[in-house]
Amino acid sequence: MGKNLIVKPLVVHSPAKLNLFLAITGKRADGFHDLVSVAAPVDFGDTLEIAEAEDGFVLTCDDPALEVDETNLVLRAARAFAAASGWKGGARFSMVKRIPMGAGLGGGSSNAAATLRGLNEIAGYPLKGEKLAEVAAQLGSDCVLFLSGGPVIMRGRGERVESLPAGAVRRLVGRRVLIFKPGFSISTAWAYRRMVTAEPGWYLPTQEAEGLLAAWLHSRTHAAEELLFNNMEGPAFAKYIALPVLLDVLRAEFGLVPRMSGSGSACFALLPHEVSVDVIQTRIREHWGPKAFVAEAKLG
Instruction: Give me the helix-helix angle, 73-85 and 107-122, nearest 10°.
Output: 40
Strands 229-230 and 10-27, by their bridges, are: parallel
End-to-end CA distance of the chain: 38
Q: Residue 1: exposed, middle, or buried by beta-carbon count in 10 A (0-12, 13-18, 19+)?
A: exposed
Task: Point out the catalytic residue in the list 34, 46, 97, 142.
Answer: 142
Q: Do 59 and 74 form a contact (C-beta atoms < 8 A)? A: yes
Is residue 224 within 8 A of residue 171, CB to CB? The reply is yes
Q: How many residues does the chain have?
A: 300
53, 88 Cβ separation under 8 angstroms: no
Cα(146)–Cα(159) distance, integer angstroms:
11
Inter-residue contact 13 to 264 (CB < 8 Å): no
Cβ neighbours of residue 201 closer than 8 Å, sequence gap 6 or more: 195
Q: Is 27 a catalytic residue?
A: no
From the candidates 17, 46, 97, 181, give the one annotated as an active-site residue. Answer: 17
Q: Is 17 an annotated catalytic residue? A: yes
Residues forming the active site: 17, 142
